[in-house]
Every structure is written in structure tokens, then in C-alpha cells.
Amino acid sequence: MSIEQLAETAQAMVARGKGIIAIDESTSTIKKRFDSVGIENIEENRRAYREMLLTTPKLGDHVSGAILFDETLRQKTADGTPFVEVMKKAGVIPGIKVDKSTHPLAGCPGEVITEGLDGLRDRLKEYYRLGARFAKWRAVINIGDDIPSGTCIEANSHALARYAALCQEQGLVPMVEPEVIMDGSHDIQTCYEVTEAVLRSLFGALYEQNVMLEGTILKASMVVSGKDCPEQADVEEVAEATLMCLKSTVPAILPGIVFLSGGQSDEKATAHLDAMNRIGNLPWPLSFSYGRAMQSAALRIWAQDMKANVARAQETVYARARDNGLAALGQWPG
């Protein structure tokens, strides 16, 4: 795979006014989402739910790609069309979550490491064959008393970089996601310092593993106050701190940065992205790769009647895509 092709895919992922919908919840994560609205976590419900999302009319107007879970990449609509075909027709690039989730990091209490490197080359070969053109790997960094440790940051950066190099070898654009978790009572300054250390370490590791940044997308967490911090930074402060942190750590050659929502409300996730793009004057496009902040409203509607409410749920998906697409241009609410 040439770097030109990888770069082309990466640029298409962050095309003007477009972002990514993350629907790559593992079977255990989707159970939590389904439990919250009283839906049984069986394969047919997962398939029907993802069909509702992926067949949203005009999804491709504001969505460039969708991240799927292994099971979803292999599924079809009720009329037998592979999801991948539906996506290609809609102009939505298929992506695949390839990590095998987080596990306790031995020797580092309270910290986790993302696993999934063993056998990854063969899995990537198959995913490419099935139609995926980009991949995602999520590392998790917790903030707390005396954490994160340098050991945890370095171990996760190393894994992200090994994953990214393997993706590029197999023709998939790696989306590298080091998520600094919002849980905790820390202030925004602490989040800034941790995020800065994590991104410095990540880009050092990517360099060491010969990852081509032109064919890589960063999925970043925003610099925010901890959920339980008594002093909550406002939208402007979050936008300014996040931009400062990214500008001091992320090389300009990267094709783009997308954000996770991480438990922010729908409105906040959109407002933060919009505020950053209004400040503007940045070396890379900034867009969204939201999971919960794209889906939660639609899931609630769909759960009330999984057949009759499909169109109404899809209208909500479209509205969230449109809002976040405008925010990616600094033009929300339009």
C-alpha cells in the first residue's frame, strides 16, 4: 500500500465539514447502552440497531466514516445487503476497532494497558479484505493520586505505535486514540499536563516505529476539568486549553484530528468542537469521532419502538451529524 493511498483515505476521513460516527461498542459495552434503555443484548437487536444507524438517509452529507465492531463489519441489512456495501454507497468509509480492550497493567495499580497486538497482522489482512480502510485502537489513561505513571504512558504509546505500523503495512489508516479519562476531581490544568505528556510520548513512539504521519489520524480527548472537580472550566477555556495542548505536541503534517466525546453531553461535545474551530488558524482540520454524543438521543427514541421509530431515530442521527458537521467548520448552530 502506498503512502499516497493511505494519505488519501486519511484526508477523506477529515473532509471539510465531515466527521466520524463511532459505533464500535464491543458486545459488553453495547450491553451497558442497551440496558440503560431496556433492550435485550442479542445479536439480532445489535444488528437491527446498527442497521438503523447506517441506513440513516443522507448520512454521508456530514459523516465521512463509521467505526464498526468485528461482528458489525460482517453483518447485513434485513434485506441481505452487507453493511459495508450500504456504507460505500452512502460515501461512508468503513472503519474497524481492532484493539482487544483494556486490562490491568501489572505492577501499576489503577492503570490499564490495551491489548490486541498478538495476531493483529492477520486480523488486519482479513479486515482489509472485508472492506475496512481505517482502524481504531483506544488506549486509556486514568488520572488519580500519583497516576498516570510514566510506565503506563510509555507502555500504551508503544502499543499504539506498533498497532499503527501494522495498520499501514496492511493498507489501513490507523486512528490512534489515547483517551485521557474525564473521571476524577482533578482540575483542567492537571488534565492539560497529562494530555501533553501522553501526546508527546505518543508522537515519539510513532516516530520510533516508522509510522507515516501523513497516513495517520489522531483521535484525541479534549482538555477538560475532571467530572467531579468543583470548578468546571467553561467552553472557551476548554477550547483554548485543548488547542494550546494540541499545537504544542502534534506535528503539522498530520492530516487531521478528531475528538471522542468521552461522556460529555451532546450539546457540550458540539459546543467545544465549534469553539475550537471558531478560534481556527490551525495546521489540521478538527472534527468529531463521537460515539455517545452521536447516538444517545437516537438510541432512546429507537428503544421505545424498534420498528415504528426507525425513521424518527434516524432523523436524530442526521441532526447530530449535521450539528457536529457545522461545528467542524466553526459554524454551529448554523
Q: Which residues are tagged catalytic?
A: 177, 219
Whichever of 25 and 51 has its CB closer to ligand 13P, that residue is: 25
Binders of ligand 13P among residues 284 to 313 (CB under 6 A) are 290-293
112-114 and 102-104 strand pairing: antiparallel
138 in contact with ligand 13P (CB under 6 A):
yes
Whichever of 65 and 291 has its CB closer to ligand 13P, that residue is: 291
Distance in Å, CB of 24 to ligand 13P, minimum? 6
Task: Please pick, from the candidates 60, 95, 255, 262, the single residue that binds ligand 13P as defined by CB under 6 A.
Answer: 262
178 in contact with ligand 13P (CB under 6 A):
no
Task: Please pick, from the candidates 261, 270, 287, 316, the single residue that binds ligand 13P as defined by CB under 6 A.
Answer: 261
260 in contact with ligand 13P (CB under 6 A):
yes
CB count within 10 Å of CB 118 equals 9
Contact 327, 270 (CB under 8 A): yes
CB count within 10 Å of CB 74 equals 13
Residue 213 sits at the vertex; the CA angle it makes with 210 and 218, to the nearest 5 degrees, is: 120
22 in contact with ligand 13P (CB under 6 A):
yes
Contact 143, 226 (CB under 8 A): yes
- Scanning 170-284, the segments in alpha helix (DSSP H) are 188-208, 235-247, 266-279
> CA 307, CA 333: separation in Å to the nearest integer?
31
Task: Give the CB-nearest residue to ligand 13P.
Answer: 291
Distance in Å, CB of 221 to ligand 13P, minimum? 8
> CA 267, CA 283: separation in Å to the nearest integer?
26
33 in contact with ligand 13P (CB under 6 A):
no
68 in contact with ligand 13P (CB under 6 A):
no
> CA 20, CA 62: separation in Å to the nearest integer?
9
Whichever of 37 and 78 has its CB closer to ligand 13P, that residue is: 37
> CA 153, CA 147: separation in Å to the nearest integer?
10
Give residues in contact with ligand 13P (CB under 6 A). 22, 24, 138, 177, 260-262, 290-293
